[in-house]
Amino acid sequence: MFEVKVGDRIYYTGDRANWPSEGTVTSVSASYSDGCINISYDDERFEGDVKKCTKGLPLSAFSPGPGRRFYLLSEWQAQQQAQLESLALLSVISLNNVKHGGSRMQKKRLVFYNISNHPSSNWDVKQVEAAKKLLLKSSGLPFVYEVEPPVIIDVPFPVVSPTASIKEVADLAWKVRTQIKTQDTIVLAMIMGEMCLTHKLVNLLSREGIGCVAATTEREVVEKEGVKTSVFKFVQFRSY
């Protein structure tokens, strides 16, 4: 029989109105025939220290079936791993089909999203090439898909008011997310900007399997006609 205990880690898949999140079962009651479960989520969704929670959730919410949104975290992770292994197997089958005159390989776009206030048009050649190489490297199985040339798409990092609440920052993160297209696309994102929004974006995109990186730079002082100017030279992309 399926069992949920206090302290169990859970995963909520989210919906149109709520983000996906991990959480912890805080109490389990037998006040209803189906059980009554309370969950506290890791993410702070409201202002201050108040964390969003689910109260009075029936045990049946964890039962397998269409529309299921609640899982034990270990169960969810095992399911995701199984799906990855299945995809890898399908990729090998697709490759064999192509080798033996089967249907064309699935076409994939490679997109590097620049979520910052540093337009890629101002990047030096080293940074542009590093972004494209990193994208190709992260694409996984380059011989299974017909891959289009990598592209860099700029998404301006929003202005975050110093008086913004946690919920307002979360809303900004979701607005940025809606600009990122993932269908038939392999995506990486460079995220650099205000720290709280950066944290929200990295968590949000990482949950969806989108790699997130930051650009590291080295400061050089250039002197011309007695005037010293600081120039920041790109060094590498580093994962969050």
pLDDT, tens digit, 9 for 90 and up, residues 198-237? 999 999 998 888 889 999 998 888 777 878 887 888 999 9
Q: With a cut of 50, which residues of the chain have pLDDT below it?
A: 45-50, 87-96, 98-100, 102-104, 141-145
- In this structure, the number of other CB atoms found within 10 A of the CB of residue 57 comes to 21
- Domain contains 84: no
- Domain contains 81: no
The total domain count for the chain is 2
Write the DSSP assignment of 117-136 as a string of letters.
SS-GGGS-HHHHHHHHHHHH
Closest CA to 188 of 178, 202, 199: 202
Host domain of residue 48: 9-75
- Domain contains 91: no
Does the pTM surpass 0.75? The reply is no
CB 89 within 8 A of CB 81: no
Give the model's pLDDT for residue 34. Answer: 61
> Domain boundary at 20, 54, 75, which?
75
> Domain boundary at 75, 90, 120, which?
75
Give the model's pLDDT for residue 228. Answer: 80
Rounded to the nearest 5°, which phi and psi values hold at 160?
A: -110, 115
Closest CA to 110 of 82, 138, 90, 85: 138
Residues 6+ apart with CB under 8 A from 65: none
For the stretch 92-120, pLDDT in tens is 444 445 444 544 455 677 889 999 999 99
